[in-house]
Structures are given as C-alpha cells and as structure tokens.
Amino acid sequence: MPELPEVEIARRNLERWLVGRRILNARVLDRLALRGQSVSRLIRTLRGATVRGMGRRGKHLIWDLGGRGRIASHFGMSGKLVMRSANEALPGASRVVLHLARGRKLAFVDVRRLGAFQLVDEMVEKKLRGLGVGPLEPSFTPSRLSHLLSGARLPIKSFLMDQRRIAGLGNIHVAEALFRAGLHPALESGSLSESETRALHRGIRDTLNETLRKENADEMRYLQESGSENRFLVYGRKGEPCPRCATRIERMMQGGRSTFYCPGCQATK
C-alpha cells in the first residue's frame, strides 16, 4: 500500500509533469473510482483546466485547478498515476485517464479498486479536515507527539496508524520507526517516557526521509511486484537476523495487519 513517502514522490512527479499544463480531456473508465460522484461533472471540471499546483494531505494528493476547484486522489491499496505518450497503450486497471497537451496522457491505475479520484466537495473536504498532523510538517515536534500520546491506551502501532492523529503513516513505516526507536509494537501509547517519545519522533522522521531518498522514481513500485527490492530493516524480514543484534525478526498480527519486530531490540516493558 502506498504510504507517505510514495505519495510525496508522486506529488513531486506530478508537480514536474503537470503544473502549468492544460488538460484537454478526461475519460472515466471505471466510475467506482469517483466513489459516487458524477462522472459528467468530473469531466466538465477537468476538460480545459490548467493544473496550478499539486499538494498533499497525508496520503491524499490535492490537485489545484485554479478557479475550476480541486481534485483529491487517493491510491488505496494498489493505486498509482502513470504517464504515457499518446501512442502507448494504457496500463491495465486504468480507471481515469487525462489527455494532456503535447500528446501525453496520465492514467490513474488501481488494480484492487480501493482508491479514489474525486472532486473536492463538502464531504471530501470534511474528510481532509479530519486528518491529523503530518509527520514531516514543522509542527510535528517531540512535544506535539507527547501531547498526542498523553493518556492514550491503544498499542503504539495502532495509535501511529490512526490517520486522525498522524496523517500519512502506514504499516511499513510504523514498523520501521518502532524498530529504530527500540519500542515494542504492543506497548501502550500513553506509557512512553520522554526519552522514548523523542526516540520515536526521530525514528518516524528518519524512516520517512530515508525512503524518500531511496525511492525517488517516476513510477511507483510495490514490494510484492517482480523485481522490487526490500530496502527496509525489519518489514517483511521474518526469520532473518536483526541488523542490530542478530536476533531473528518475528512477525505478529495487530489489527489484521502483519507487524515485524525484533524481540531482542524491541522488548516489552
């Protein structure tokens, strides 16, 4: 599933590809991507619009179309945006296609059909407002994290994945951040000491920034795809030696998701 770094890389690519460019036309190949919104209204909004800016809120990309309004796109579990030339075939599972000036087209591709490509209406705006602080924003400080954690009883991994608290973290980067901080994923959130909170803050920032450095590419790839490389320290490495202490990495289930951790470095209290 795309997480904050992958979505941020997509934002940077789209900013480079699209800002200042005109959308000639749009096609909706699968109306499910609009999540109940009007196909004709989306097409009317996009046709002839110029992309003025490309922002991000958590895992949502926000397209600024100037006076035409905004688009919010979310990748769900398997989505991506792929640029092609006019004579190239569209990727499989293309759901929305934008035809651009100078013979290019951009496809919103979503194999599992869990993503969204929507106009920012009142309902979408409400969802965006309900998201928590971004972990790479200047306002996300150790003291802000401490305030968020105060009194919380959820396991720390579940807490960090709650988008209403911190927007953008996902299963992979939470596992990596907890490993870097030396914290067991099942620890009660409100039990962290000041030094543990600082270590967690640093672990979150470090793992996100490292992925941004390593994964900057024109097209998003997934760990499950052929040829993709697992560059993470513990995620997906059950049974392998911990890179820090050589204890074998273990896997457990939390909230229906796999959690990878080192029982040596991330002991329970």
> Are the CB atoms for 76 and 115 separated by under 8 Å?
yes
Q: How many CA atoms lie within 13 A of 102 on its CB side?
A: 6
Residue indicated by tokens 């049974």: 239
Neighbours of 137 (CB within 10 A): 12
Active-site residue, from 3, 6, 8, 196:
3
Contacts of 233 (CB under 8 A, 6+ apart): 176, 179, 180, 243
| Cα–Cα distance for residue pair 43/109, rounded to 1 Å | 17
- Residues 130, 140, 62, 165, CA torsion sign: negative
Catalytic residue among 12, 31, 221, 257, which?
257
Whether 59 is catalytic is yes
Options 11, 56, 59, 68, the catalytic residue:
59
Query: Is 3 among the catalytic positions?
Result: yes
Nearest CA to 149 out of 114, 192, 183 is that of 192
Q: What does the chain come to in residues?
A: 269
* Assigned token pair, 18: 């699209």
| Distance separating alpha carbons of residues 44 and 88, to the nearest angstrom | 25
**Backbone Cα Rg of the chain:** 20
Contact yes or no for 82/126 (Cβ under 8 A): no
> Active-site positions?
2-3, 59, 257
